Structure 1
Amino acid sequence: MTAEEYLINRFGLLMSISDLADLLGRSPDGVRVSLYTDTDVSRKLKPTMVRVGRRVYFRTLQVKEALSLED
């Protein structure tokens, strides 16, 4: 199973902040704070964000690429 298949099977095509926090081993509040500060991680993850109403999701395949996860 590749990293791409694993992430899609576990989270689907869109990840919530809670899903991203689980993947990174951080709290959802910690992820929120790191996204709204100017860091390397936030610069990589911001292009993966999608807003649906007031909710924020992340494109799973782009998160994989942004985090440089190997297959």
Structure 2
Amino acid sequence: MTTEELILSRTGGSPLLSLTQVAEILHRSPEGLRITLSGDNELARNLRPCRVKIGRRVYFKIQDIVRLIDGAGA
């Protein structure tokens, strides 16, 4: 099972993840992830291109999150 399949099965098959879901995957609190995204650090620079805004809500593309996770170990 690939990382993408694992995340899709845990999140109900949606191609987008909420900030809370991404925080859970990265083992952070949602507020801690918000603070990280507002700063200028490596994780924020890697996560910002993954964001999609729909109205006032912020979501993250699963494919980009998977690339970030799989690429982090390499």
**Sequence identity percentage:** 37
How far off its partner does 1:69 sit?
6.4
State the partner residue of 2:5: 5
For CA contacts below 8 A with separation 6 or more, give which structure has more relative contact order.
1
How far off its partner does 1:10 sit?
1.7
State the partner residue of 2:26: 24
Q: Structure 2 unaligned segments of length 5 or more: list them.
A: none
Count of residues in Structure 1 that have an aligned counterpart in Structure 2: 70
Q: Structure 1 unaligned segments of length 5 or more: list them.
A: none
**Against the structure 1 CA distance between its residues 60 and 3, is the aligned structure 2 distance closer, same or farther, given a 3 Å change threshold?**
same
Taking structure 1 as the reference length, the TM-score comes to 0.90
Q: 1:66 aligns with which of 45, 65, 68?
A: 68
Taking structure 2 as the reference length, the TM-score comes to 0.86
- Answer with 50-59 or 9-18: which moved more: 9-18
Q: Deviations over 1:3-60 (max 9, x none)?
A: 1111122222100000001001111000000001011001111000000000000001
Residues 49 and 57 in structure 1, CA contact (< 8 A), matched pair in contact too: yes
Which whole-Å CA distance do the structure 1 matches of 2:47 and 2:28 have between them? 15
